[in-house]
Structure 1
Amino acid sequence: MAWDPLYDKVKHHLETIYADVSLDVSYDTLTEQLLAAIGIASSEDIASPQSHHNYWDEEDIIMITYGDSVIRDNEKPLVTLNNFLHQYCKNTINNVHILPFFPYSSDDGFSVIDYSTVNESLGSWDDIEAIAKDYGLMTDLVINHCSARSVWFDNFIKSEGPGSDFFFTADPQDDLSMVTRPRVSPLLRETETAEGTKYVWCTFSHDQVDFDFRNPKVLLAFVDIIKLYIDKGTKLFRLDAVAFLWKIVGSNSINLFQTHEVVRLLRTLIEHVDPSIIIITETNIPNRENLTYFGNANEAHAIYNFSLPPLLVNTLVTGDCTYLKSWMMSMPPAQNGTAYFNFIASHDGIGLRPAEGLLDDEEISELVHTMQNFGGKISWRASEHGKQKPYEINITLFDALQGTTKGPDRFQVDRFICAHSIMLGMEGIPGLYIHSLLGTSNDYEKVANTGQNRSINRRRWNIDELETLLDSPFSQHHKVLTRVSQLIRIRKAQPAFHPNATQFTLQLGNEIFGYWRQSLDRKQSIFCVNNICDEEKTILLSDINLIGTDNWIDLVTRDEICLSSGFIQLKPYQTLWISNQDFE
């Protein structure tokens, strides 16, 4: 099949990736090995992806959860999760990101011991496939590193067998001063092997040992893993920490062109197996660098919109949308075939690196101080000249929005719902962390037990206790789930909320954050207007330019908009979705 266009394309990717690497295998052989690994043995196996085609629409919502975020005695957590989804999410959620569900040694799953099996404490592949039958399954491809307790790393130590040459090493005397780090631990791990002392590169922790993708055997191993996950029902791949994949001593070893080319190669292989499978890159880096992972609609289908969480939280605790508005105006529309993946809470904290260049140091400092006053923890990273800078804020989103810079107040739930209203209306595919859907508060007991700041937002709910709370109309959990679910149902019915529908930022002052969406067929318009402060505000209808010949309705309240009144009064943190059509 050497004459097939796919063959030539894969070979070209390889020639670009390994241009500066001496290989002991030919590009033709490696191309054939990769195509075989992904399951393409002949031209008949090749699917035909459409360029710039959107494999998503306004109905797509992704829930992010651990496999054991909800548990029941004497029941596998994945079974409990599936039951929870069917009971509470069947009319709202259609995709589920189950965070790493493999055997692991640390970092709550992101230090993978074995990529090919399901953690027995969670369930089995049968349980994963059962969820994948009813929901689009999003699976982590932890591609930058694995556990120091893996068989691969054991073989590295023994200097024999698969994995013996899979890991990146450097010399302590090398100039590593430019390396970008998300942690303050030493970069190199001293390791005694059968071939003597080696120093293994560890971007995140000494239990997370980094792969050496200069060795094509590593690439082949991951294509085998990708094929397995596809066979088990995966429809979305999250490429974890992919920005750090390629290392070059003497460089910053982040976002290197070889990394981008590896993503392009994986995209090429995957989309020729199943064009509907989506790749999402997880690159917790400054905004400008993050955008490069779209490529020319030939890398990631979607990128995490990492700047949104810190900017939105900052907006709602200061009552000033200046920075959020400036950022939104600067964001290029995602071209067809690509989309932003919007989220405002996740299993990690509120990243601050993506706010660099968007919030100044004083704003970041005030935000950090406010979150600490709300019970949040701060994780740090090493920066230039060995200084430490805040890397992320560890706090549940519900508690992050319990008040303003002035302190806690009575608007916690309304402020929290406002945050989700803003996200759900924006251009892009929404992702909701399970603990935001449930209105979960900070888990200080888990932090004390684990010693890890991130545990504050990783509560493990007993499903019987949770169901009691969700059934109580007076609990924060019931209020949050009910109101967020209502917003999701409204969103899913509106063509103007398609992830690629037109978006335009409105100029309504610093205390009203607004934007306009228009459906791809230009028939539906929605004006999303949000009071982001703790006082009532008035907006003039002339400021949002509602066309007088149309009938307008607020999709949230179902109230008709009376154009003759000339204005609308907004309660603190109220959201209006003003539309000329209602499809719910």
Structure 2
Amino acid sequence: MSDFKRKAKSLKNCQKKLNQQLESIYQDIDLDVTFEELSEKLIFLMRLDKTCHAPVAAQNKWSEQDVILITYADSLLEADKKPLVTLHHFIDKYLGKSINSVHILPFFPYSSDDGFSVIDYSSVNESFGDWKDIQAIAKDRRLMSDLVINHCSSRSAWFQNFIKGEGVGHDFFYTASPDDDLSKVVRPRTSALLNEIQTGKGLQHVWCTFSHDQVDFDFRNPVVLENFVTIIRQYLDMGVRIFRLDAVAFLWKKAASECINLPETHTIIRLLRTLIEHAQPDAIIITETNIPNVQNLTYFGNANEAHAIYNFALPPLLVHTLVSGDCKHLKRWLMSMPPAQNGTCYFNFIASHDGIGLRPVEGLLSDQELNRLAVTLEGFGGKTSWRTTDQGQQKPYEINIALYDALQGTTEGEDKLGFYRFICAHSIMLGLEGIPGIYIHSLLGTRNDYEKLENTQHNRAINRHRWDYNTLKEKLSGHPDHHKNVLSELKHLINIRIKQKAFHPNATQFTLHLREQLFGFWRQSQDRAQSIFCISNVSKNTLDLSLSELNLIITESWYELITGAKIAPGQETVSLLPYQTLWISNLDMDI
């Protein structure tokens, strides 16, 4: 088949799929255009009429070599340097080939929420740098960017036109009446849902899921969708290859419903995937849906929605495991997680710019266990943020704390094993099925930023420190302190991980049944050539492990990858120090 015919066939299939998706989304809405006309417009905006690729089903667009750094554009500050330039320098100098991808949190002009209240989607915040700086990073690393798709800033030109009642954006925002039945609406905030605004068209009550500075879009208007397709096309042109759909679960609203996880939201994700896959074969979508675990899993769809989903239950379960010394909940959860189909994967993380979310473990941890976890972490300087349930109750939504501080002790109080507990958390995460993401402040062992918390009065600021780059360089090059030690140890683990085929995000995984103080799972490469037993001591006591518990073939040689030790044929036991992890492989790391 000629390239022309192949492109024509791909374009025809794409439009057919778009027509079906658009009909599903807008079937109950009177539109001024037909579905065919709208799909043609989307194809034009994505430039698929010029280049249209045929997606390959069930294709894994990742490997064991993929590790993502999560960072703000201005996490590192240097006099007379643009933060994006400084960030690029840090990545090249200190991370090298260890980390091949970077998620730069919203780098656009914004008015609040450290970037998640976007004023202008089409430009880079001048205080960070410009598109050339973004492209320079994208040239060296796989670039992940947020698509803040649920809401934008009340200071945006679009919303100002809404207030005026004319111009682009005047009909982009969701409004409701205070008389509507909003009793079932699920939200992560305690502020009023509707914000009363006087506009050129009269008094309007604007829907604000998160804050009154973050006004929700109305995707019932297909022009909103068209504008976001234009934004996606621009980001692809600038080098973005991973799209993080921020707060996407709240996208579609209906009166008298929970206004979360609605069918139209899922279909819009499928539509965006259709467009992105036909435009850029190596680009992927990750959905950010901080919701209970069972609901979160639905964003895989039938391997036709998100390529990857955030494993939101992992951070609270892993922290709970390490501060309680009991892995039964973590083990039970891992056993219940379905293997990701080829073409999909989990995105694993244990710290981020937000706090440790608690909603994903509702039903996994009891209220008593959640409260004890919150009290324990508050003892290490953490803050608890709250949400309002549909019954009007106040429940803890997330715990805001730097991960290094969160693991400085147990339910019995602070101790001297925090460093080892912290490294143990990452060694578990790095071994699990999925792509790992590591927050820059975890990579650096950054502590709670109480000054920023006091200045902003926002709980999440406690884990959003901005480093003076020269100060950081001194800490990383001088006498060893915990910042230098953390970076060195995490790079050591990462450099081992990226050489192991058994750590491919879709490699086989089975949970091991060991003692409650020993958390273990087994990974096997897709070609079955390599097996790795990942065993972690989650207690503060030294524990012996009988190798017969792992069913190792004791007549063969095995290798402990982290220490480089060889397990000799016939060896019966190994000892694990407090919070030590073993990666026991039938192949050594250089094979």
2:72 paired residue number: 66
How far did residue 564 of structure 1 move?
Answer: 2.3
- Contact 1:494–1:582 (8 Å) recurs in 2: no
2:252 paired residue number: 246
- Contact 1:10–1:31 (8 Å) recurs in 2: yes
Aligned with residue 15 of structure 1, among 6, 14, 23: 23
Aligned equivalents of 1:582 and 1:155: distance in 2?
Answer: 62
Instruction: Determine whether 1:546 maps to 2:545.
Output: no
1:30 paired residue number: 38
How far did residue 12 of structure 1 move?
Answer: 0.6
Aligned equivalents of 1:27 and 1:46: distance in 2?
Answer: 20
Superposed CA offset, 1:177-206 (max 9, x none): 100010000000000001110000000000
Aligned equivalents of 1:454 and 1:114: distance in 2?
Answer: 23
Aligned with residue 176 of structure 1, among 163, 182, 188: 182
- Contact 2:443–2:486 (8 Å) recurs in 1: yes
- Contact 1:35–1:41 (8 Å) recurs in 2: yes
2:432 paired residue number: 426
How far did residue 384 of structure 1 move?
Answer: 3.2
- Contact 1:310–1:350 (8 Å) recurs in 2: yes
How far did residue 473 of structure 1 move?
Answer: 4.0
How far did residue 490 of structure 1 move?
Answer: 0.1
Superposed CA offset, 1:406-464 (max 9, x none): 01111111000000000000000000000000000000000011111000000000000
Aligned equivalents of 2:565 and 2:16: distance in 1?
Answer: 58
- Contact 1:473–1:479 (8 Å) recurs in 2: no
Aligned equivalents of 1:24 and 1:323: distance in 2?
Answer: 52
1:390 paired residue number: 396
How far did residue 563 of structure 1 move?
Answer: 4.4
Instruction: Determine whether 1:402 maps to 2:408.
Output: yes
- Contact 1:159–1:193 (8 Å) recurs in 2: yes
Aligned with residue 121 of structure 1, among 116, 121, 127: 127
2:578 paired residue number: 572
Aligned equivalents of 1:19 and 1:544: distance in 2?
Answer: 55
- Contact 2:561–2:589 (8 Å) recurs in 1: no
Aligned equivalents of 2:526 and 2:556: distance in 1?
Answer: 18
Aligned equivalents of 1:565 and 1:195: distance in 2?
Answer: 80
Aligned 1:258-273 pairs, distance under 5 A:
258-273=264-279
Instruction: Determine whether 1:486 maps to 2:470.
Output: no
How far did residue 288 of structure 1 move?
Answer: 0.2
Identity %: 61
1:446 paired residue number: 452
Whichever residue aligns with residue 428 of structure 1, its letter is G
2:151 paired residue number: 145
Aligned equivalents of 1:501 and 1:564: distance in 2?
Answer: 28
Aligned equivalents of 1:551 and 1:565: distance in 2?
Answer: 10
Whichever residue aligns with residue 13 of structure 1, its letter is Q
How far did residue 497 of structure 1 move?
Answer: 0.2
Q: How well do the aligned residues superpose, as a CA RMSD in angstroms?
A: 0.9
Superposed CA offset, 1:152-184 (max 9, x none): 000001110110000000000111010001000
Whichever residue aligns with residue 494 of structure 2, its letter is I
How far did residue 274 of structure 1 move?
Answer: 1.0
1:303 paired residue number: 309
Aligned equivalents of 2:108 and 2:57: distance in 1?
Answer: 34
How far did residue 583 of structure 1 move?
Answer: 3.3
Instruction: Determine whether 1:534 maps to 2:540.
Output: yes
Unaligned residue ranges in structure 1 (runs of 5+) = none
Unaligned residue ranges in structure 2 (runs of 5+) = 1-7
2:292 paired residue number: 286
SS in 2 for 1:358: coil
Aligned equivalents of 2:13 and 2:98: distance in 1?
Answer: 41
Aligned with residue 435 of structure 1, among 441, 462, 475: 441
Whichever residue aligns with residue 145 of structure 1, its letter is H
- Contact 1:235–1:276 (8 Å) recurs in 2: yes
Aligned equivalents of 1:154 and 1:507: distance in 2?
Answer: 58
Aligned equivalents of 1:431 and 1:347: distance in 2?
Answer: 12
SS in 2 for 1:238: strand
Aligned equivalents of 2:306 and 2:23: distance in 1?
Answer: 20
Instruction: Determine whether 1:351 maps to 2:357.
Output: yes
Aligned 1:147-226 pairs, distance under 5 A:
147-226=153-232
SS in 2 for 1:146: strand
SS in 2 for 1:385: coil
Aligned equivalents of 2:189 and 2:95: distance in 1?
Answer: 36
2:3 paired residue number: none
- Contact 2:554–2:570 (8 Å) recurs in 1: no
Whichever residue aligns with residue 497 of structure 1, its letter is F
Aligned with residue 463 of structure 2, among 441, 444, 457: 457
Whichever residue aligns with residue 26 of structure 1, its letter is T
- State TM-score, norm by structure 2: 0.98
- Aligned residue pairs total 582
2:419 paired residue number: 413
Aligned equivalents of 2:569 and 2:486: distance in 1?
Answer: 32
Aligned equivalents of 1:13 and 1:150: distance in 2?
Answer: 29
SS in 2 for 1:74: coil
How far did residue 549 of structure 1 move?
Answer: 4.1
SS in 2 for 1:374: coil
Whichever residue aligns with residue 21 of structure 2, its letter is H
- Contact 2:555–2:570 (8 Å) recurs in 1: no
Instruction: Determine whether 1:496 maps to 2:502.
Output: yes
Instruction: Determine whether 1:41 maps to 2:49.
Output: yes
Aligned equivalents of 2:588 and 2:341: distance in 1?
Answer: 26
How far did residue 519 of structure 1 move?
Answer: 0.2
Whichever residue aligns with residue 12 of structure 1, its letter is Q
